């Protein structure tokens, strides 16, 4: 007679059982994620979705988003970022200047078109076609957009702070689109962000076409003085304010590069430079194809960020890096979140930038006074 097998065949400890379910016609994206994405990169993507939906999308969490590369030309501004902003799930943004410049083409009547990466670029140049990998754009779009940028800034330069931050510049464009082209405002990242009170910064304003047009205005003796140090203090103010009020700070990093660093350096600025007590961001999600072993910041892990004070050591369990192409991952992530999360009330940080920076300045100066007493 066979002895009864008394071995525990279930998962050791309290670990959850992987329970895949057959996919069926008509399932929503969030149902597919719950049914089939369990391990490897699929598993990390599912964890990112769950972390955002279950812990980040709360009223006491302030969400900063970094936007690298040229995701707007690929359609992700209209398809993903605008719905997230309208749902109150983005509080502040740091983007490459390219994304914000390309956002302006559509309001001037230009569209991005399907192209192919193996095109003859010399012939494209002869035909007046710009290529962004497999996306084509009429060269005239650049010329008309340059003219639009300079015209709007000329007409509004006296309404800007002197000096101003990049968020002031981008707010000017958002407001102009709503005023002059209201029928197109819901297709513009800058217009939707402005209407929702979401400040939009760029980490390297001189490294973009908008920056080049600002340089042209200087040659015309109509300069607009842009102070990148204001940007540093403004974005730091967003984080410092929510943490001071016992809330939490979350970062959603779309790609890497300079925008990623600008979002994360808010914490070293608070702790290391200003000397104010803080522990780091509380939530960290990054979608990236960059490897950590090359030493670049784009691939740097949340654990490495802990050593810099960028991430709260106690928050490592609330950090996710999901490896893959952001242009593929973000649409599925957005759909999952919109299906699972109720819209939040907008925090309207754009109108609070000066107040929050003043608060940061006051506490920094008070700390200096206390140390000298």
Q: What is the pLDDT of residues 85-116, one digit of tens each?
A: 999 999 999 999 999 999 999 999 999 999 99
Nearest in space to 61 (alpha carbons), one of 366, 347, 360: 347
Cα-to-chain-centroid distance, residue 127: 34
Q: pLDDT confidence of 290, banded at 50, 70, 90?
A: confident
Nearest in space to 322 (alpha carbons), one of 275, 255, 249: 255
Residue 5 has pLDDT above 70, yes or no: no
Residue 181 has pLDDT above 70, yes or no: yes
Whole-angstrom distance, CA of residue 153 vs CA of residue 173: 8
pLDDT for position 33: 95
Quick check: is 13 in a domain?
no
Residue 369 has pLDDT above 70, yes or no: no
Quick check: is 21 in a domain?
no
Work out whether the CA dihedral 350, 353, 354, 359 comes out positive or negative.
positive
Q: What is the pLDDT of residues 324-350, one digit of tens each?
A: 999 999 999 999 999 999 999 999 999
Quick check: is 178 in a domain?
yes
Quick check: is 27 in a domain?
no
Cα-to-chain-centroid distance, residue 313: 23
Provide the CATH number for the domain around residue 226: 3.40.910.10
DSSP for 27-81 reads: --HHHHHHHH--SHHHHHHHHHHHHIIIIISSTTEEEEEEE-TTTTTTTHIIIII
Quick check: is 314 in a domain?
yes
Q: What is the pLDDT of residues 20-42, one digit of tens each?
A: 889 999 999 999 999 999 999 99
Residue of 185, 243, 260, 310 with catalytic role? 310
Q: What is the pLDDT of residues 225-246, one digit of tens each?
A: 999 999 999 999 999 999 999 9
* Domain count within the chain: 1
pLDDT for position 7: 59
Quick check: is 38 in a domain?
no
Quick check: is 280 in a domain?
yes
Nearest in space to 187 (alpha carbons), one of 87, 105, 114, 96: 105
Contact yes or no for 284/305 (Cβ under 8 A):
yes
Catalytic residue list contains 310: yes
Quick check: is 269 in a domain?
yes
Measuring CA to CA, how many Å separate 203 from each of 21, 72, 96, 97, 126?
Answer: 44, 17, 7, 8, 33
Nearest in space to 239 (alpha carbons), one of 366, 144, 360, 143: 360
Question: Containing domain of residue 226, as a range?
Answer: 43-365
Beta strands 135-138 and 129-132, pairing class: antiparallel
């Amino acid at each position: 007679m066979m002895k009864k097998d008394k071995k525990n065949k279930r998962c050791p400890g309290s670990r959850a059982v992987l329970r895949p379910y057959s996919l069926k016609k008509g399932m929503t994206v969030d149902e597919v994620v719950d049914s089939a994405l369990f391990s490897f990169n699929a598993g990390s993507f599912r964890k990112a979705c769950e972390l955002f939906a279950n812990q980040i999308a709360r009223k006491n969490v302030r969400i900063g988003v970094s936007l690298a590369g040229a995701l707007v030309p690929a359609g992700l501004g209209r398809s993903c970022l605008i719905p997230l902003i309208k749902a109150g799930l983005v509080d502040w943004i740091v983007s490459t200047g390219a994304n914000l410049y390309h956002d302006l083409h559509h309001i001037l009547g230009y569209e991005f078109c399907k192209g192919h990466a193996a095109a003859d670029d010399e012939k494209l140049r002869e035909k007046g076609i710009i290529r962004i990998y497999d996306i084509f754009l009429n060269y005239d779009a650049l010329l008309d957009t340059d003219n639009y940028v300079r015209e709007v800034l000329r007409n509004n330069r006296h309404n800007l702070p002197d000096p101003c931050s990049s968020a002031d510049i981008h707010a000017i464009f958002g407001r102009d689109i709503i005023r002059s082209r209201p029928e197109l405002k819901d297709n513009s990242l800058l217009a939707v962000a402005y209407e929702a009170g979401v400040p939009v910064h760029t980490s390297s304003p001189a490294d973009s076409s908008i920056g080049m047009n600002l340089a042209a205005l200087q040659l015309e003796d109509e300069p607009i003085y842009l102070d990148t140090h204001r940007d540093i203090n403004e974005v730091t103010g967003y984080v410092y304010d929510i943490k001071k009020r016992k809330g939490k700070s979350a970062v959603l990093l779309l790609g890497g590069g300079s925008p990623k660093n600008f979002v994360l350096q808010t914490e070293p600025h608070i702790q290391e430079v200003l000397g104010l007590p803080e522990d780091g961001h509380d939530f960290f999600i990054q979608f990236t194809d960059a490897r950590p072993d090359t030493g670049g910041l784009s691939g740097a892990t949340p654990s490495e960020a802990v050593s810099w004070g960028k991430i709260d050591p106690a928050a490592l369990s609330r950090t996710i890096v999901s490896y893959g192409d952001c242009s593929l991952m973000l649409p599925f992530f957005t759909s999952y979140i919109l299906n699972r999360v109720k819209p939040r009330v907008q925090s309207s940080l754009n109108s609070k930038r000066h107040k929050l920076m003043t608060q940061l300045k006051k506490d920094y100066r008070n700390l200096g006074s206390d140390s000298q007493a």
